[in-house]
Amino acid sequence: MRALVLTRSLTSAAVMLSGVVHLELWAQGMSALDVVGPAFLLNAVAGLVLGVVLQLWEHWLPLLAAAGFGAATLGAFVLSTTVGFFGVQERWQGAAVWLSAVSEVAALVLGLVGAGLVLRRRGTHRAGPGGADPAARVRPAVVRR
Q: Is the pLDDT of residue 52 over 90?
A: yes
Task: Say if CB 104 and CB 74 are below 8 A apart.
Answer: yes
Helices 95-127 and 2-27, axial angle in degrees (round to 10): 150
Q: Is the pLDDT of residue 144 over 80?
A: no
Residue 49's pLDDT is: 97
Interval 49-57 mean pLDDT: 96
The answer to whether position 60 is within a domain reads yes
The answer to whether position 145 is within a domain reads no
User: If you compute the radius of gyration of the chain from its CA atoms, what whole number of angstroms results?
Assistant: 21
Quickly state the pLDDT bin for 22 (edges 50, 70, 90).
Answer: very high
The answer to whether position 36 is within a domain reads yes
The answer to whether position 31 is within a domain reads yes
Residue 57's pLDDT is: 92
pTM value? 0.79
The answer to whether position 87 is within a domain reads yes
112 vs 85, which has greater pLDDT?
112
Q: How many structural domains does the chain have? A: 1
The answer to whether position 144 is within a domain reads no
* Torsion from C-alpha of 45, 106, 5, 20, nearest 10 degrees: -30
- Distance, CA of 142 to chain centre: 49
The answer to whether position 109 is within a domain reads yes
pLDDT, tens digit (0-9, with 9 covering 90-100), for 111-129? 999 999 999 887 765 544 5
Residue 141's pLDDT is: 56
The answer to whether position 26 is within a domain reads yes
Query: What is the extent of the structural domain holding 44?
Result: 2-136
What percentage of the chain has pLDDT greater than the value 90? 54
